[in-house]
């Protein structure tokens, strides 16, 4: 996998590492721990081991379970049960805390989410652990300042200006990126903010009920090579795009790659 190869090359240059190892989904709040044999081997062999913050998500195979997570967060008993299971697992994996990425939550569940994070922070503080979260920059319901008050770091997901439910377009144009980050970070201590940039693409095409598919950058370059298309860096948006025809299906791809970074 390209991610394992990249991690192997750069493991000793990283301060923090946030691997996607855990999901919590379904009405019964089932916990899935994903095997990452290659990643764990690289981490364990590192000369300079980064701070490890496993990512806990409410998604599996790309499907977000907002309703299931909202139900978990609303109940103090299920919040406590999740932390009871996570804490010893984090210890066993020599983690330095956890990174929570709960998405597609209904607006009414956000106060419950902050309650959960306060409870996690209270527990983790005893071990000197970090509590970090991901927050979308384009959703006004998320009060970044309120979340920042109860966690150690807020990662602003500064991407998805256009995504598969919208028409094709830049995933994070420069002007949109700057304005979104400024709005989201307003009033938040700078030492709590991390701006996350994307490294992926979207392939919009008409033969998908979802509008298209997410693609890794190497997959996008391979599609361009095989189709004879030429990726073009759009100076106005700072993003790269290309398009091609495959039979009766037209593909339009936009990328966040090295030039956009």
Two structure tokens written together for 191: 């030492």
Question: Dihedral sign, CA of 61, 62, 66, 67?
Answer: negative
Two structure tokens written together for 161: 């200006």
Helix residue spans in 99-229 (DSSP H): 110-125, 144-148, 174-185, 217-227
182 has a pLDDT exceeding 70? yes
| CA 80 remoteness from chain centre | 24
- Percentage of the residues of the chain whose pLDDT score is greater than 90: 91
- Give the three-class secondary structure for 198: coil
Q: Give the per-residue pLDDT at 140.
A: 84
Rounded to a whole number, what is the largest CA-CA distance in the chain? 60
Helix residue spans in 126-216 (DSSP H): 144-148, 174-185
Q: How far apart are CA 97 and CA 89, in angstroms?
A: 11
Helix H or strand E encompassing 34:
none
Q: Give the per-residue pLDDT at 1.
A: 56
3-state helix vs strand vs coil in the chain, percent to 5: 35, 25, 35
2 has a pLDDT exceeding 80? no
Taking a C-beta distance cutoff of 8 angstroms, is the pair 171, 162 a contact? Answer: yes
Two structure tokens written together for 230: 């030429």
DSSP class of residue 61 equals: T
DSSP class of residue 229 equals: -
Average pLDDT in the chain: 95
242 has a pLDDT exceeding 80? yes
Q: Give the per-residue pLDDT at 245.
A: 94
Which pLDDT tens digit goes with each residue over 55-89? 999 998 888 999 999 999 999 999 999 999 999 99
35 has a pLDDT exceeding 60? yes
Q: Give the per-residue pLDDT at 210.
A: 73
- Give the three-class secondary structure for 153: strand
Give mean pLDDT, residues 185-200.
95
Give the CATH architecture of domain 2-157.
Alpha-Beta Barrel (3.20)
The candidate with the shortest Cα–Cα distance to 56, out of 84, 11, 25, 88, is 25
Give mean pLDDT, residues 233-237.
96
Q: Give the per-residue pLDDT at 60.
A: 84
Q: Give the per-residue pLDDT at 20.
A: 94
- Give the three-class secondary structure for 168: coil
Q: Give the per-residue pLDDT at 138.
A: 80
Taking a C-beta distance cutoff of 8 angstroms, is the pair 65, 103 a contact? Answer: no
Which pLDDT tens digit goes with each residue over 195-226? 999 999 999 998 776 789 999 999 999 999 99
Which pLDDT tens digit goes with each residue over 116-163? 999 999 999 999 999 999 999 988 889 999 999 999 999 999 999 999
Q: Give the per-residue pLDDT at 207.
A: 76
Q: What is the 3-state secondary structure (H, E, C) of 11-23?
A: HHHCCEECCEEEE
Phi, psi angles (nearest 5°) of residue 250: -100, 130
């Amino acid at each position: 996998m390209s991610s394992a190869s990249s991690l192997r090359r750069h493991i000793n240059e990283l301060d923090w590492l946030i691997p996607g190892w855990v999901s919590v989904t379904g009405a019964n709040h089932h916990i899935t721990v994903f095997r990452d044999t290659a990643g764990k081997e690289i981490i364990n062999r590192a000369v300079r081991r980064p701070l490890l913050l496993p990512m806990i998500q409410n998604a599996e195979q790309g499907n977000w379970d907002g309703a299931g997570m909202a139900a978990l967060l609303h109940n103090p008993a299920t919040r406590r049960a999740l932390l009871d299971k996570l804490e010893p697992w984090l210890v066993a994996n020599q983690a330095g805390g956890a990174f929570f990425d709960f998405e597609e939550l209904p607006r009414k569940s956000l106060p419950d989410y902050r309650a959960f994070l306060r409870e996690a922070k209270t527990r983790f503080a005893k071990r000197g652990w970090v509590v970090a979260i991901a927050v979308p920059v384009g959703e006004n319901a998320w009060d970044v300042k309120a979340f920042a008050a109860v966690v150690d770091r807020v990662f602003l997901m500064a991407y998805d200006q256009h995504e598969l439910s919208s028409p094709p377009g830049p995933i994070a144009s420069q002007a949109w990126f700057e304005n979104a980050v400024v709005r989201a970070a307003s009033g938040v201590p700078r030492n709590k903010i991390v701006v996350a940039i994307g490294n992926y693409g979207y392939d919009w095409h008409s033969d998908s009920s979802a509008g298209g598919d997410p693609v890794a950058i190497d997959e996008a370059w391979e599609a361009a090579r095989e189709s004879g298309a030429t990726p073009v860096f759009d100076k106005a948006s700072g993003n790269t795009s290309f398009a091609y025809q495959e039979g009766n299906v037209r593909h339009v791809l936009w990328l966040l790659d090295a030039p956009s970074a």
